[in-house]
Structure 1
Amino acid sequence: MSEMKIAVLQMNVTEDPNENIEKATKLTEHLEGYTILLPELFTTGFRYPLIRSLEQNHHDIVDKLPSSNRYMGSVVRNNGDERFNSFFIKDSKGTRFPYDKKHLFPLMDEDKNFAPGNRKGIVNLDGIKCGTSICFDLRYPDRDHFCEAPQIIFAAAQWPAVRKKHLRALVSARAVENQCWFVLCNAAGNIGGALFGGGSIILTPWGETAVDAHDTEDALLTFDADLDSVTEVRKTIPIDRKP
C-alpha cells in the first residue's frame, strides 16, 4: 500500500516572522518523515506595513524550518519589482516555489499588494503527483488540477471565520471533482484585526472527512493517506479528464 504521512499545523500568525518559524518548529519537532502543511503567509499574515518592510529575500526564512520533515505553505516572495504570495516546499532536496497565487483576494487588498501568478503548481513529491493551491483559488475550479489528476492537493489559507461555511463546501467540492486527497491548512484566531476560522481538514477522495481541526488556534493534525484509494475511486466513477 502506498501512503503519505501528512500533518497540518493550524496556527495563529503573529507579527514576528521569526516567532512564527519558531512556533511551527516547536509544534512539529516531535514528528519525523511527515509532509507538513502550514497556513497561507504563515510568517506575516496580511499585515501590509510589515510585508512592505521585509527584506528582498524574506522567502529564504523558510530554510530555518527543520530538515526532519517536508514543510509547505505560502510565504511572501519578492522577485525583482514584483511581490508574490508563493507556495513553498522545503525538504531534503532544498527549497522551491512551484506556484504563485493566481486569484488575489480584493476584499483584503491582495490585488494591490501582490502580483498574480501564472504557473500550474503541479509537483512531484517522491513519485506522488501533487497539486498546490492558496486560499481564494478555492473559489475557482482548477482546470490544471482536473486534467493533471494529482493524487493529493494541498491548499494553504487565511480564510475569514465569517465565511467558514463557504470554505467547507468548497474544499469538499474540490476533493470530489478531482477524486483525490485534499489537505487544507487554515489560519485561526485574530490576525491583524481579522478573525480567521480554522477548520483545517484532510478529506478523502470521496470528499469525506478523515480528520478535522475545528477552530482551535494552534492545532496539529496527522494522518496517513492511502494513495491506492485514489485509483480505486477513479475506477469506480471514471471521469474524462482530457483538456
Structure 2
Amino acid sequence: MDENLHIALIQSHLNWENPVANRISFSEKLTQITSAIDLIVLPEMFTTGFTMQPQNIYEDEGLKTLQWMQDLAKEKNAALTGSLVFQENDNFFNRLFFVFPNGTYCTYDKKHTFTLAGEHEVYQSGIEKLMVEYKGFKICPLICYDLRFPVWARNTEDYDVLLYVANWPKLRVNAWDALLKARAIENMSYCIGVNRIGIDGLGHEYVGHSAVYNVLGEQVAYSEKEEIVYARLSKGHIEKTRNKLKFLNDRDAFNWQ
C-alpha cells in the first residue's frame, strides 16, 4: 500500500456569484491533472466567491455543484473537496463537501462564521468537527476563519492532516501564513491551506499563498499565482516525527460536550 497521499491544490480566480461559470472554469483546470492524484482541493465558496448574498444564487445550485463534484471525483478517481453556498430547509450554510472517488461524501459546516463581514447573520454556524478517513490518512477539513481558533483545531483526534479552504484577503495574508505554520507545528500534523486569487465582487483582493506545511512546520509547497500546486504527504514522516518528538502526549484534552 502506498503510504503517501498525492494532492493537488487549485489556486484560482473565482467568478463572482456565478456557479455555472466557476464549474466550467474548474472543469477546464482539472483537465491539466494528468498524473495520479489522491485528493483535489478547491477554495472556500469556490462557485461564488465569499458572498454575503446567497439569495442571489439559485437554490438548486448547491445540489448541481455536488453532482459535479461527484462526477469529477469518479472521472479522476480522486477525492474532491471545497466549500460552497448551500441552501437547506430555508437556511444557508457555508458547507464543505468531501467527495470520495466512488461518489459518496461527508460534510462540514463552517464553525466560525466571519463576523467582520456579517457572515454570522447570513449563514448557519456548524457545531461538529469532521474527521475523514481516506487512504490511510485521517483528515480534518476546516474553513477559512476557523484558522484563527486553535482550540477548535486542536489535534485531540490524532488526525494526520489539517486542511483549510479559504477566501483570505491580501490585507491579512501575513496572518494566514503565520497561522498555517503554527497549526502544523502545534498539532504535529500536515497543514494545508488553499486560498483564491484575484479581486471579488466587493473589491477585495486575494493573493493566494496556498501552501502545505509538514509536521515540523516546514513549507513543502507554496504559490502566489493562478495554478495547480502539487504535494506529496508522507505517512512515514508523520509517524517518524511523532515517535521521536512525543509532544502530543502532553497535549490538553478538550471536551466539547
**TM-score strictly above 0.5:** yes
Root-mean-square deviation (CA, aligned residues, Å) is 1.7
Answer yes or no: is the 8 Å Cα contact 2:184–2:216 preserved in 1: yes
Q: Cα distance 1:134–1:52, how it changes in 2: closer, same or farther (>3 A)?
A: same
Does structure 2 conserve the Cα–Cα contact (< 8 Å) formed by 1:122 and 1:145? Answer: no
Q: 2:26 aligns with which of 14, 24, 42?
A: 24
- Quote the Cα distance in structure 1 between the aligned partners of 2:22 and 2:182: 31
Shift of 1:95: 4.6
Per-residue deviation, residues 208-228 of structure 1 (Å, max 9, x unmatched): 1101012x1x21101121111
- Counting only pairs closer than 5 Å after superposition, residues 53-72 of structure 1 correspond to structure 2 as 53-60=56-63, 61-65=65-69, 66=72, 67=74, 68=76, 69-72=78-81
Question: How much does 1:93 deviate?
Answer: 2.8
- Aligned residues of 2:8 and 2:37 also touching (Cα < 8 A): no
Comparing 224-233 with 166-175, greater Cα deviation is found at: 224-233
- Percent of aligned pairs sharing the same letter: 27
Q: Is the 8 A contact 2:3 2:136 kept in 1?
A: no
SS in 2 for 1:172: helix
Gaps of at least 5 residues in structure 2 are none
Aligned with 2:40 (options 36, 41, 50): 36
- For the 8 Å contact 2:108–2:141, the answer to whether it is kept is yes
1:226 corresponds in structure 2 to 234
- Distance, in Å, in 2 between the alignment partners of 1:54 and 1:11 is 20
Question: Going by fraction, where is strand more abundant, 1 or 2?
Answer: 1
The DSSP-based 3-state class of the residue aligned with 2:185 is helix
* 1:149/1:95 CA distance change after superposition, 3 Å: same
Aligned equivalents of 2:86 and 2:104: distance in 1?
A: 12
Bigger shift: residues 166-175 or 53-62: 53-62
User: Partner residue of 1:45?
Assistant: 49
Deviation at 1:233, TM superposition (A): 1.4
Equivalent of 2:186, from 150, 173, 177?
A: 177
Does structure 2 retain, via aligned residues, the 8 Å contact 1:184–1:202? yes
1:105 alignment partner AA: F
TM (norm. structure 2) is 0.88
- 1:207 counterpart (207, 217, 222): 217
Cα displacement (A) at 1:41:
0.2
Residue-by-residue CA offset, 1:18-67 (whole Å, 9 max, x unaligned): 11112212112232433011100000012334x21323332221321412
Matched, 1:90 2:99: yes
Which runs of structure 2 are paired with 1:102-141 in the superposition (5 Å)? 102-141=111-150
Letter aligned with residue 207 of structure 1: G
1:29 and 1:76 map into 2 onto residues whose CA distance is: 24
Q: Residues 84 and 114 of structure 1 are in contact (CA less than 8 Å); yes or no, is this contact kept in structure 2?
A: yes
Give the match for residue 147 of structure 1.
Answer: 156
TM-score, reference length from structure 1: 0.92
- 2-structure distance, mates of 1:144, 1:48: 25
Q: Is 2:150–2:183's contact at 8 Å kept on the other side of the alignment?
A: yes
* Match of residue 11 from structure 1: 12
